Amino acid sequence: MDTTPFIANVPDSAITDLRDRLSRTRWPESETVDDWSQGIPLDYVKQVCDYWATDYDWRRFESKINSFEQGLTTIDGVDIHYVHAPSPEPNAKPLIIIHGWPGSVVEHLDIIEALRNPTAHGGQADDAYHVVVPSLPGYGFSGKPTKPGWSVPRIGAAWVELMKRLGYRRFYVQGGDWGGAIAANMGYAQTETVAGVHVNLALCSPEELIKLGEPTAEEMAQLGKFQHYLDWESGYSQQQSTRPQTLGYGLTDSPAGQCAWILEKFKAWTDCDGHPENVIARDTMLDNISLYWFTATAASSARLYWESFKDLLVEFTPVTVPAAYSCFPADLFTMTERWARTRFTDLRYYSQPERGGHFPSLEQPERFVTEVRQGLRALR
């Protein structure tokens, strides 16, 4: 197995540099509204950045992630970082969980044990998985591609190779955000190795929905949500899909800028009743933001949009492997079951949890684990 053990260990000098940069932040003026409609409010960013500089403990996070087996392996010229958590159950099945942007492996660390060892967390032995959580190329502790071409299909092929190196010839795939897009791609391009997919973000063709006849009131609302995203929530994606390099200069140099760029999404994309810390702890958000900062991956992570975003909302190749879809209500896009079936042709599980948004493993971890267990159980 061509892999190297990995331990997270940021130099003390990098932590000192972060705190120094935060102390010297040149802040803009305050927003002219009393809400988040112009972006993340100045007072909140200042509050979080002050905490980041004075009270946040990166070493705590390093201890947490280092409690798991981690490795690096070079695939197609890029070093890939992964967390690997084999199950103690003899009949466990392999599962790869794929994150997106602005997420990372941080999203899934707290749900690994429940999936790996379900009998110790209120589950059944039949729901045990050998869990693999990789960092996307250009994200986190993975290497940064130096040449173009790392699009969704190429990443999917890389994950097949990764799982092969870990000894898994056939496996299940779970994903949201870019992870959902990669899972869907693997569900039609890698059918010999993918036993089934579970997604918490599905992208399906509006045209195919219209072909089914008059949309229901729920579907009209979902189409309206999609249009709202295009009109009001997609500015970040326009920048990242057209000029990721330009964006990288500011975010790689300014921790306050990197913090604001990501932190705003933890409010806008979660089911949080108006404040992100209602559903995600500040330390957890800063674990994720710090991972972007210390690895200087603002530009490299954004390049995935340059590579693939133009296809994301127009490419709806049918997914033919058994599939499950957990449609969390506050996600960016939501689809009814019949709409989802226009793409996921063997959809065996569909659920609409009462709460949750774009980061369900952080917002509603217990429900997310239940959804993964029930969804994958339906695929067996």
292-333 pLDDT, tens digit per residue, is 999 999 999 999 999 999 887 668 999 999 999 999 999 999
Amino acid at 37: S
What is the rounded distance in angstroms from the CA atom of residue 291 to the CA atom of residue 278? 22
Active site residue 228: no
pLDDT, tens only, 214-246: 999 999 999 999 999 999 999 999 999 999 999
Set 177, 271, 287, 331: catalytic member:
177
pLDDT tens digits, 116-139: 999 999 999 999 999 999 999 999
Find out whether 69 and 84 touch, Cβ atoms under 8 Å.
yes
- Give residue 251's identity as a one-letter amino acid code: L
Number of structural domains (the chain) is 1
Q: Tell me, what's the pLDDT at 310?
A: 84
User: Of the candidates 256, 265, 257, which has an alpha carbon nearest to the alpha carbon of residue 236?
Assistant: 265
Mean pLDDT calculated for residue range 86-112: 99
Question: Known catalytic residue: 108?
Answer: no
Query: What are the tens digits of pLDDT across the range 204-216?
Result: 999 999 999 999 9
CB neighbour class for 63 (10 Å; exposed up to 12, middle 13-18, buried from 19): exposed
Q: Can you give the residue range of the structural domain that contains 289?
A: 4-377
Q: How far apart are CA 109 and CA 114, in angstroms?
A: 10
Q: At what angle do helices 12-23 and 42-54 cross, to 10 degrees?
A: 150
Distance CA 20, CA 99 (A): 30
pLDDT at 1: 59
* Measured CA angle at 309 (ends 327, 226), to 5 deg: 40
Q: Among the options 172, 305, 325, 350, which is catalytic?
A: 305
CA angle, 240 then 242 then 243, to 5°:
70
Q: pLDDT exceeding 70 applies to what percent of the chain?
A: 99
* One-letter amino acid of 42: L
Q: Which of 81, 99, 108, 358 is catalytic?
A: 358
177 noted as active-site residue: yes
**Arithmetic mean of pLDDT, 273-283:** 98
The CATH number that applies at residue 270 is 3.40.50.1820
